[in-house]
Homo-oligomer: A and B are copies of this chain.
Amino acid sequence: MSKDSKTKFIGNLLLDYGSGGQASHRLINDLFLHYFDNPILRQMNDAAELHLSGHLAISTDSYTVTPLEFKGGNIGSLAVHGTVNDVAMLGSKVRYLSTAFILEEGLDMQLLERIVKSMAEAAKEAEVLIVTGDTKVVPKGAVDKIFINTTGLGEIISNNPPSGSKAQAGDVVLISGTMGDHGLTIMAARENLPLGAALKSDSAPLNLIIEELIQNIPEIHVLRDPTRGGLATTLNEITMQSSVVCKIEESLIPVLNDVKQGCSILGLDPLYLANEGKLICILPKQYQDKALEIMHKHKASQNACYIGEIFAPGNIELKRQRTLNAKAGQVLLETPLGGTRLLSMLEGEQLPRIC
Contacts and interface: CB of A to CB of B under 8 A. Distances in A.
A353 B15 CA distance: 10
Nearest to A61: B134
A156 to B, nearest CB: 7
Contact of A100 (B15, B21, B62, B137): B62
Contact of A346 (B21, B56, B152): B21
B45 A164 contact: yes
Contacts of A62: 100-102, 134, 136, 149
Contacts of A168: none
A122 to B, nearest CB: 18
A115 to B, nearest CB: 16
Contacts of A57: 47-50
Interface string A30-69: 0000000000000111111111111111111110101000
Which of under 10, 10 to 19, 20 to 34, or 35 or more describes the interface residues of A?
35 or more
A154 B24 CA distance: 26
Contact of A55 (B21, B51, B138): B51
A313 interface: no
A353 B22 contact: no
Contact of A352 (B43, B138, B154): B138
A132 interface: yes
Nearest to A51: B55
A68 to B, nearest CB: 12
Interface stretch (A3-11, A91-99, A262-270): A91-99
A25 to B, nearest CB: 8
B144 A46 contact: no
B19 A228 contact: yes
The interface centre, meaning the residue of A131, A132, A156 with most chain B CB atoms within 10 A of its CB, is A132
A100 B149 contact: yes
Given A48-B57, A138-B144, A347 B89 contact: no
B18 A60 contact: no
Most buried by B among A96, A133, A153, A224: A153
* Pairs A-B, 7 closest by C-beta atoms: A20-B228, A21-B346, A16-B348, A47-B59, A60-B98, A151-B151, A20-B229
Given A60-B133, A64-B102, A142-B353, 11 more contacts: A14-B348, A14-B349, A46-B86, A46-B87, A48-B90, A58-B131, A58-B132, A60-B132, A98-B151, A136-B353, A138-B352
